[in-house]
A and B are shown apart, each in its own frame.
Chain A
């Protein structure tokens, strides 16, 4: 998508959102501290805030906002004509309608079967929202937005409030959805892992201003650099999976079979220049460095087969003389791999 935004708006309480940007990407992440204006910008993109100066606008807003998406000026369009899939922090399902009716609410609804299968909610269609778990509600809200065939998907902290395991599962799911349905997306997130996992461009907002933009690795700061690797492994035996031709040992639930979604924290991986011996770690294999790039105060190292990212200090990278093309060994503890269930 090519998204161009110019906004200078004052809101109640003295908050002013004043920024301009042009981006060309698939998934744009908005990052920044609470109150930076991320959700406000998302509401503006959705059309939930009027684009022009007007008396009595919500929150006493004044000023101008201009939004161009792939050459189409969305600014004069009201919320209902913008065709955006808007998924707010709380799923906001219609409580008087069952899941099927929620999904078919949009007059533009289409491709229901494909979306419900992709989001694994086909079995929930007859349920009322009050009887869904937090994760299920979020999946239904996302499905409802996708079914409305939006030209832009707006996700406001879609994993907020989910526990660690569910969050990882949801992230893996959202990545698959993003690839499959290829809807241009703007994502608000506090969590670096989500930004890395989904976005190819990021904007950092602070006090209503744009303070940085670029690749997620360039925009995220130290302390926000917790990165996950998401992979798919095939079960090859008890406590053994094969990932991209490499066999890993890890504790698997009884009866696990087929393909599993796996997650590995980037900071749980080690690198060595020589084959290490006498280590307790169960998984050691040779590979090659693909890239080394700065990530806040640390460095993000990408290795091949299976493609993984890991975070190292600058001192470690210097000492090991890591650079693209260098041969290394990856060290991974069996307990550092998290199985997220069937892929």
Chain B
């Protein structure tokens, strides 16, 4: 059971960690001007196309106690490598491209005239973002967040490299299943953990549908 709760907490924190920068990057990609957008897009998509193990290795280089960022974070009492935070970071980085893609698509679907009209009415950029862009992008944010959460639940490759398999700290469901599969006579445990994964996935999709339905009802849009 601890693996289930650990997975949920890691996936939740990873989603919350990835959401603000993903929204910022998606806004830059959709509303920014300049050639750098292409380079940014490639950079954002990298975790999606790289083998997760390579992503984990790059994270480990950066966040290990000897890494250029890991040393500073460890000094602040935030150790990443082979800690719970490492599992969160790995899941957030791997889910980030999906989140950015869905948020970009949500921002793109907002009629640009609405932002222009809002500005013509005297709203500042922040007011336009908070009162027009954010509420209208909300279905996309929900979709992206639920997909990022689901991806984080299933994250394995990068997590095992960055966070290792530390029981009770980084042993999320996929890592626990892998460990049980390697242990003779633990078939029942594997089945139980796999069933828990399945259940979590179904709950995730159903919750996503319900939240989206409620939002559409509020906007009185067709389903």
| A84 vs B122: C-alpha distance when bound (angstroms) | 9
| Closest chain B CB from A107 CB (angstroms) | 5
- Residue pairs across A and B with CB atoms within 8 Å: the count is 69
**Known contacts A105-B123, A148-B121, A148-B122, A92 near B114 by CB under 8 Å:** yes
Interface-facing stretch out of A9-17, A75-83, A274-282: A75-83
- Residue ranges of A at the interface with B (Cβ–Cβ < 8 Å): 46-48, 55-56, 78-86, 88, 90, 92, 94-96, 105-108, 128, 130-131, 144-145, 148
Q: Which of chain B's residues have a CB closer than 8 A to the CB of A131?
A: 220
* Given A56-B33, A56-B34, A94-B118 contact (CB < 8 Å): yes
Contacts of A86 in B (CB 8 A): 116-117, 120
- 0 or 1 for each of B199-223: is its CB under 8 Å from A? (1 = yes): 0000000000000000000111100
Contact B136 A96 (CB under 8 A): yes
Interface centre among B116, B121, B136, B218 (most CB of A within 10 A): B121
Selected from B33, B119, B127, B135, the residue in CB contact (under 8 A) with A79 is B119
Q: Are B131 and A105 in contact (CB under 8 A)?
A: yes
Chain B interface SS verdict (over half) = helix
Shortest CB-to-CB span from A58 to chain B, Å, is 9
Tell me the nearest residue of chain A to B132, going by C-beta: A94
> Chain A residues near B122 (CB, 8 Å)?
80-81, 83, 106-108, 148
Q: A56-B34, A80-B123, A105-B121 are in contact. Are A48 and B116 (CB under 8 A)?
A: yes
3 closest Cβ pairs, A-B complex: A56-B33, A106-B121, A79-B119
Complex formed: what's the CA distance from A107 to B8 in Å? 42
A86 and B201 alpha carbons, distance in the complex (Å): 47
The answer to whether residues A130 and B220 also contact, given A88-B113, A92-B111, A94-B114 and a CB cut-off of 8 A, is yes
How distant is B140 from chain A, measured CB to nearest CB, in Å? 13
In chain B, residues 65-99, which have Cβ atoms closer than 8 Å to a Cβ of chain A?
none
CB of A107 within 8 A of CB of B127, answer yes
B23-69 residues at the A interface, CB under 8 angstroms: 33-34
Cα–Cα, bound, A79→B33 (Å): 18
Name the B residues within 8 Å of A105 (CB-CB).
118, 121, 123, 131
Please give me the residue from chain A that is nearest to B136 by CB atom: A96
In the complex the two chains form, is B219's CB within 8 Å of A79's CB? Answer: no
Which residues of chain A have C-beta atoms less than 8 A from B131's C-beta? 94, 105
Q: List, sorted by A's number, 12 A–B pairs whose CB atoms are closer than 8 Å.
A: A56-B33, A79-B120, A80-B121, A80-B122, A82-B120, A86-B117, A92-B114, A96-B136, A96-B218, A107-B122, A128-B219, A130-B221
Whole-angstrom distance between the Cβ of A114 and the nearest chain B Cβ: 18
Residue of A47, A96, A145 contacting most chain B CB atoms (<10 Å):
A96
B-chain residues with CB within 8 Å of residue A130 when the two chains form the complex: 219-221
Number of interface residues of B (CB under 8 A): 24
Residues of B within 8 Å of A80, CB to CB, are 119-125
Q: Given A56-B33, A90-B113: A95 and B121 within 8 A (CB)?
A: no
Q: Judging by beta carbons under 8 Å apart, are B219 and A96 in contact?
A: yes
Q: DSSP majority for the A interface? A: loop
Closest-CB distance, A126 to chain B (whole angstroms): 12
Interface positions of B (Cβ within 8 A of A): 33-34, 111, 113-114, 116-125, 127, 131-132, 135-136, 218-221
**CB closest residue in chain B, given A128:** B220
| Chain A residues with CB below 8 A from B114, complex form | 92, 94
A109 to B132, CA, bound (A): 17
Nearest-neighbor residue (CB-CB) of A108 within chain B:
B122
Report the separation of the CA atoms of residues A78 and B122 in the bound assembly, to the nearest whole angstrom.
10
A96 to chain B: closest CB distance in Å? 5
Q: Kindly list chain B residues whose C-beta atoms are within 8 Å of the C-beta of A95.
A: 136, 219, 221
Known: A56-B34, A105-B131. A92 touches B113 (CB 8 A): yes
Measured CB to CB, the nearest residue on chain B to A127 is B220
Q: Which residues of A contact B34 (CB under 8 A)?
A: 56
Q: Which chain B residue lies CB-closest to A101?
A: B131
Q: A88 touching B117 by the CB < 8 A rule?
A: yes
Contacts of A107 in B (CB 8 A): 121-123, 127
**B33 partner residues in chain A, CB cutoff 8 A:** 55-56
| Cβ distance B108 to chain A, nearest Cβ, rounded Å | 16
Known: A107-B127, A131-B220. A92 touches B121 (CB 8 A): no
Q: How far is the CA of A47 from the CA of B33 in the complex (A)?
A: 18
- Contact partner, A92, options B117, B123, B124, B135, Cβ 8 Å: B117
Q: Report how far A105 CA is from B124 CA in the complex, Å.
A: 12
Q: Known pairs A105-B131, A144-B121; list 18 more (Cβ under 8 Å).
A: A56-B33, A79-B119, A80-B119, A80-B124, A86-B120, A88-B113, A88-B117, A94-B114, A94-B118, A94-B131, A96-B218, A106-B123, A107-B122, A108-B121, A128-B219, A128-B220, A130-B219, A145-B121
